[in-house]
Amino acid sequence: MLTREFLKNADCQSSFGPIEECLVLSAEQRAASLQDFLARKPSSGPLWIFGYGSLMWNPLLDYDQVETAYLAGWSRDFCLTLVAGRGTSANPGRMLALVEGGHTVGRAFKLSCDSWEAELALLWKREMITGCYRPLWQTLTLESGRTVDALVFVANTEHTLFCANECLTHKAKVITAAKGPLGKNLSYFEEMMATLQRFGIEEPSMLALTEQLVKLSRE
């Protein structure tokens, strides 16, 4: 499992497994992406981050508040080719992202007010290694009924690692087979489903993918 110490010391080119140099954003590119994102912050209020995958169970963030949250217009999909972490270029997996349509229930984290830039720099190192995510400001509805503007990482559909309209059977086969330096791709999926169950979140598309994975395990 990732730790803050690992992220702080990680070399993006090799610490998650070898990645083709042409796919890796430089430290300067990540910093420029972060500054551009912060420049577009829609309000002067607290900074919230929406977690819908591993951020839900392993946020590694310095936050002072967390709530279940609803995001309209986006849904979970294992739609990014995973060439590091829990996959390799020779044995790629599938990474979770958000695609347009539907809705998603996840967890919203409010960052401690004195650590925005340091926390986001660490988060960019975790999520923006290749640029296959697009950071957006989106409106969340919190469990308490309030709405907040939050950072949401969605799939960059123009990226070479994006897989469009992939059938569930093939996706399940890839997830079952893939593994990398951080473990099995399937273990990530199982952790995500356990987390959704823990928070009472029902996700029809993920349940359908679960059925395919169970079917494969019986063959």
Q: State pLDDT tens for residues 116-127.
A: 888 999 999 999
Q: How far is CA 48 from the centre of its chain?
A: 15
Look at residue 17 in the predicted model and tell me its pLDDT. Answer: 81
Active site members: 127
Query: CATH: 3.10.490.10, 3.40.50.1980, 1.10.3720.10, 2.160.10.10. Which one for 4-218?
Result: 3.10.490.10
Pairing outcome for strands 147-155 and 48-51: parallel
The two three-digit tokens of residue 108, written as one number: 């919203």
Look at residue 176 in the predicted model and tell me its pLDDT. Answer: 96
* pLDDT < 70 stretches in the chain: none
d(CA 139, CA 47): 12
In whole angstroms, how far apart are CA 187 and each of 54, 88, 90, 205? 11, 15, 19, 18
pTM, entire model: 0.94
Q: State pLDDT tens for residues 101-158.
A: 999 999 999 998 777 888 999 999 999 999 999 999 999 999 999 999 999 999 999 9
Contact between residue 3 and residue 127 where contact means Cβ atoms under 8 Å apart: no
Look at residue 165 in the predicted model and tell me its pLDDT. Answer: 87
